[in-house]
Amino acid sequence: MNKSNKFSPEVRERAVRMVQEHRAEYPSLWAAIESIAPKIGCVPQTLHDWVKRAEIDAGLRAGTTTSDARRIKELEREVKELRRANEILKTASAFF
């Protein structure tokens, strides 16, 4: 899975900030997103995902924060590596 990062983090942050600042001017969050997304040059669903991620990271919405997800991924990678090393050691100890 190769994701293309077409938008820089600065553009994403600015887009999310625009949605948050202008949210009260629209009847719903989705209406605000649909209005702002073309100005950024992305589809509304992408902007909606960015807004949700920002709300999770800010603690306004339930979910796994970006830093927690990154840490979990690192730990899973480490566990996999340690299990592989453990299997190698078990195999090696059988020969001695």
pLDDT on residue 35: 96
pLDDT on residue 1: 44
Burial tier of 26 (Cβ tally within 10 Å: 0-12, 13-18, 19+): middle
Return the axis-axis angle of helices 9-22 and 29-40, rounded to nearest 10°: 140
pLDDT on residue 4: 58
55-92: pLDDT as tens digits: 999 999 999 999 999 999 999 999 999 999 999 999 99
Percent of residues, the chain, with pLDDT higher than 90:
90
- pTM for this prediction: 0.76
Compute CA distances 70 → 13, 73, 75, whole Å.
19, 5, 9
